[in-house]
Amino acid sequence: MKTCYLLGYPVEHSMSAVMHNAAFKQLGLDYRYELLNVQPPNLEKIVNSFRDPSFGGANVTIPHKVEVMQHLDEVDVEAQRIGAVNTIVLNEDSLVGYNTDGRGAIKAITGVYVPVNGADVVILGAGGAARAIGYHLSLNAGRIQIFNRTEKRARELADYISGLPECNATVQSQEYTHEKLKTCIGDADILINATPVGMYPKIGVSPIDPELLGSHLLVFDSVYNPLKTRLLKDAENAGADTLSGLRMLVNQGVSAFELWTGLNPPGELMYQAARGRLSDE
């Protein structure tokens, strides 16, 4: 049997095992998926233990998406561009890092709503998820405004993305103030929360004031547990369109599954398995 893992800290909230194990069972694969709590000082040791034939693959989540890159033998070009890894594959004796987050997010948005071409987007956060989503948005969006509590990180990310040759958007960082948020969100088509704010167990918190939301927006929260975050509830009350992070989770998981096994998994089954578990909680 091969074992796949989710590396993060904490990981108890994750639905990755639920959806991947459902897909393994459906396809009759001798695989299992486990959640692995890894504190930062132990990351290198855990990653090195994956150089074993029983290793089936891994996903990487907060807070390891950037740090894990230095412990891999190779990093895919797209993941290098993004500057974060969320998927690890053992290729013969080499551990190779990929990033499927950004593609998963864009597919979630365009699968339910209109394409992102020319869109005005506000991103909250400057970590691994923001890097992946921001990179993919920059290929086709019109303008991207990045807000982060630590303004320096937002500025560094905006400068990095805007400096890439494939970037076709205007990418800027903004000071995280009520007035700046009000102005930028007022002009935006899409608001994306790429922070863990509102994630289980701190489910009553939103990254922004509800009065900043309006019916002109699509509000996409990369958090999926709970299925309907405080931000999404506030957005619904404001008349905005909303999108949970669960579709992003499933889309990135489908891509990771393909990298690990070479097979196309049942994406809708994975979605329903995760949604069913979230609804039960």
By annotation, the residues acting in catalysis are 65
**Closest among 73, 70, 76, 62 to 6, alpha carbons compared:** 62
Residues 6+ apart with CB under 8 A from 15: 224, 225, 246, 249, 274, 277, 278
Amino acid at 235: A
User: How many CA atoms, within 13 angstroms, populate the side-chain half-sphere of residue 106?
Assistant: 19
Cα–Cα dist 50/89, whole Å: 9
DSSP letter assigned to residue 95 = E
Residues 6+ apart with CB under 8 A from 198: 205, 206, 207, 221, 223, 226, 229, 230, 231
Cα-based distances in Å from 266 to 24, 27, 34, 250: 9, 8, 19, 10
Cα–Cα dist 95/97, whole Å: 7
DSSP letter assigned to residue 274 = H
| Residue/partner pairs of 235-242 with CB below 8 Å, 24 or more apart | 235/191, 237/210, 238/210, 238/213, 238/214, 239/214, 239/215, 240/191, 240/213, 240/214, 240/215, 240/216, 241/113, 241/217, 242/218
On whether the CB atoms of residues 231 and 20 are closer than 8 A, the answer is no
